[in-house]
């Protein structure tokens, strides 16, 4: 296999962290970024603030044009969920015939969106578990959660050569990499966690520690998880029977001061991933005839703010 290296598209908390640890491990990594982040990375490199140790590293190339980088072995796509289609269209210059794209967006729709733009042969399915946020342009703060990436082929086949190369590179960079037997179930189990945490956190305006230790709020958290599980099963997704119990245990073991990225975006008055995380569950529930009363409440509570931030007066059509 030719060694073209890797590209990361979107250098927020997630993309910035993975680009930095791959570069620190010695891999050729280029990034596609914009604005002040791009300027800072070009000038100072990527800086990571982490309980595992702070460091600064240079990337091979930082640009706002994929054609400046050219074809790579694999792409980590780490833009916000609503930017996937636009980003996939702009990344065509990064693709050789065997290039694989690993989308790490919240929600369960990113891989299908990438496939719709780039065709079925390029997109993997993936998710990550990490607490990371932008401290300042080019500077990423990593929380106390050990970073994990799970990935797989959408059709369940064995990983391609380039997907394996990305897997090994992430492992070498200190990331826990999982290749679950059913990546669709893994994506829905992640959605169960992030939808419950994001929805409860945004409505209650509270940290993980505050949510889990307040009985009525913990009950809301659990009800949201149970509704996501019911919607997933209605779609034929084989999530595990004990997924709610395990996810609550994961919440209990998470840093008490943690918050979700959707919650942070909404609190800061920025556009959020409400539609991909909460709205998707509501839509899928509607289509399947599965009641989601708690998720409907959360969606109705947060949608006016999202509409205001995005400058729209009408709710998306359900």
Report CA Rg, the chain: 19
Decide which of 318 and 243 is more confident. Answer: 243
Burial class for 269, CB neighbours closer than 10 Å (0-12, 13-18, 19+): exposed
Q: Would you list the domain boundaries of the chain?
A: 6-179, 184-310
At residue 227, the pLDDT reads 98
Q: How confident is the model at residue 2 (pLDDT cuts 50, 70, 90)?
A: very low
Report pLDDT digits (tens) over 259-311.
898 999 999 999 999 999 999 999 999 999 999 999 999 999 999 999 999 99
CA distances from 132 to 51, 70, 261, 266, 292 (A): 12, 28, 8, 16, 30
What percentage of the chain exceeds 70 in pLDDT?
Answer: 97
Question: pLDDT at residue 312 above 90?
Answer: no
Q: Given this model, what pLDDT does residue 143 score?
A: 84
Q: What is the pLDDT of residues 157-207, one digit of tens each?
A: 999 999 999 999 999 999 999 999 999 999 999 999 999 999 999 999 999
pLDDT tier at 258 (50, 70, 90 boundaries)? confident
Tell me which architecture the domain covering 6-179 has in CATH: 3-Layer(aba) Sandwich (3.40)
Tell me yes or no: is domain 184-310 CATH 1.10.1040.10.
yes
């Amino acid at each position: 296999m030719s060694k073209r290296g890797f590209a990361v598209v979107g250098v927020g908390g997630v993309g910035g962290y993975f680009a930095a640890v791959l570069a620190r491990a010695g891999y050729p990594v280029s990034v596609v970024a914009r604005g002040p982040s791009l300027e800072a990375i070009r000038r100072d490199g990527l800086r990571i603030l982490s309980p595992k140790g702070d460091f600064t590293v240079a990337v091979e190339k930082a640009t706002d044009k994929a054609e400046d980088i050219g074809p790579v072995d694999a792409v980590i796509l780490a833009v916000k969920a609503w930017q996937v289609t636009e980003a996939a269209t702009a990344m065509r210059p990064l693709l050789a015939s065997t290039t694989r794209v690993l989308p790490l967006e919240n929600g369960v729709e990113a891989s299908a969106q990438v496939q719709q733009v780039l065709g079925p042969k390029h997109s993997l399915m993936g998710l990550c578990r990490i607490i990371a946020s932008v401290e300042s342009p080019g500077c990423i703060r990593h929380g106390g959660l050990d970073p994990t990436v799970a990935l797989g082929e959408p059709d369940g086949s064995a990983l391609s050569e380039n997907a394996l190369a990305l897997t090994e590179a992430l492992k070498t960079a200190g990331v826990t990499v999982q290749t679950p037997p059913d990546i669709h179930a893994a994506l829905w189990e992640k959605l169960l966690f992030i939808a419950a945490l994001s929805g409860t956190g945004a409505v209650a305006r509270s940290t993980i520690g505050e949510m889990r230790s307040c009985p009525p709020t913990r009950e809301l958290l659990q009800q949201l998880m149970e509704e996501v599980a019911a919607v997933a099963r209605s779609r034929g997704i084989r999530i595990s029977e004990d997924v709610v119990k395990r996810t609550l245990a994961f919440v209990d073991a998470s840093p008490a001061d943690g918050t979700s990225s959707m919650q942070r975006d909404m609190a800061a008055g920025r556009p959020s991933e409400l539609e991909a995380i909460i709205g998707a569950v509501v839509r899928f529930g509607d289509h399947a005839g599965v009641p989601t009363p708690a998720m409907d409440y959360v969606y109705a509570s947060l949608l006016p703010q999202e509409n205001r931030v995005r400058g729209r007066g009408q709710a998306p059509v359900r």
